[in-house]
Amino acid sequence: KSVKISCKNLWHLFGKGSAGFLDKHQHNPSEADLASAGLIAAVHDVSFDVYAGEILVIMGLSGSGKSTLVRCLTRLIEPSAGQVLFDGVDLLQASSRSLTDIRRRKMGMVFQNFGLLPHRTVLDNIAFPLEIQKVPKADRLTKAQELVATVGLEGREHNFPRELSGGQQQRVGIARSLIGECDVWFLDEPFSALDPLIRREMQDEFVSLQSRLNKTIVFVTHDFDEAVRLGDRVAIMKDGHLSQIGTAEELLMTPANDYVKKFVQHAPRAKLITTQKIMVPAKAGDISVATH
């Protein structure tokens, strides 16, 4: 199953005095209001949908608010204002019990440092979410063993994380989020620590895994090349604002502002893929625009 997520008018402010600030400014503070209060709007009135079954990539430079946005979507932090609907459930209104349940059963999260348990083997790390769900040991180990094969880690079942390469550790992290059969994965820069070759391999594997499993995926990266490789759509963040959301083609052909234009123009790989896609259809005009 894959699920839809919607966020509406989502804000997250960092800094002392953030409570009540938005109400005081009718949810429309100017940059000067924020600056004089010493607040940072890491997420600044952001609204968008993540469609069921798509890979949505959230992209932007370091500090643009990507991680904070994902933390609001997963309710790991409480947004200052707005709404997050996860499969129709308002996460900001949900009780802590139902939130915990949704996180355990429906959300898979993979972060840059993999979050593996150092004193547990590969198999036990993968099986861990089922342990929390109190699934009997024999069943969870059988399931974990299946996933070891899915992510290509056969023969490594009894190794500890420190004995694995970064790419292998990453696979353990991915298998662990798969085991709970969650509906949505959130991945925050999962491949950024990997060397380019392994990174490329992981991106390809990730795409094939996604097409087999048809999960809804929110994937954070600062790399437009990676965004285009993986994303059905890309959301571009700048200083807490959502600059634009769309397919790579839409961003390239109709950038919403100069920032988006600059971003996509400096992404030769993106240009290449987009140009190839556009070369196929009808009008000659499309081709000349794309090759500029």
Kindly state whether residue 44 participates in binding ligand ADP, applying the rule CB under 6 A: no
Helices and strands (H and E) in the chain: how many:
13, 10
Kindly state whether residue 40 participates in binding ligand ADP, applying the rule CB under 6 A: yes
Q: What one-character DSSP code corresponds to residue 237?
A: E
**Residue 243 C-alpha from the chain's centroid:** 17
Q: Are strands 5-14 and 81-86 parallel, antiparallel or unpaired?
A: antiparallel
- Single residue of 7, 10, 22, 60 touching ligand ADP by CB under 6 A: 60
- Single residue of 28, 62, 96, 288 touching ligand ADP by CB under 6 A: 62
Q: How far apart are CA 254 and CA 241, in angstroms?
A: 18
- Single residue of 11, 22, 56, 66 touching ligand ADP by CB under 6 A: 66
Kindly state whether residue 63 participates in binding ligand ADP, applying the rule CB under 6 A: yes
Q: What one-character DSSP code corresponds to residue 57?
A: E
Q: Which stretch binds ligand ADP (CB under 6 A): 56-64, 119-127, 160-168, 208-216?
A: 56-64
Q: What one-character DSSP code corresponds to residue 187?
A: E
Cβ of 211: how many Cβ atoms within 10 Å?
9
Kindly state whether residue 7 participates in binding ligand ADP, applying the rule CB under 6 A: no
Q: Are strands 216-221 and 184-188 parallel, antiparallel or unpaired?
A: parallel
> Where in 113-172 is the site for ligand ADP (CB under 6 A)?
none
Q: Which stretch binds ligand ADP (CB under 6 A): 64-72, 78-86, 195-203, 208-216?
A: 64-72
Residues that bind ligand ADP (CB under 6 A): 14, 40, 42, 60, 62-68
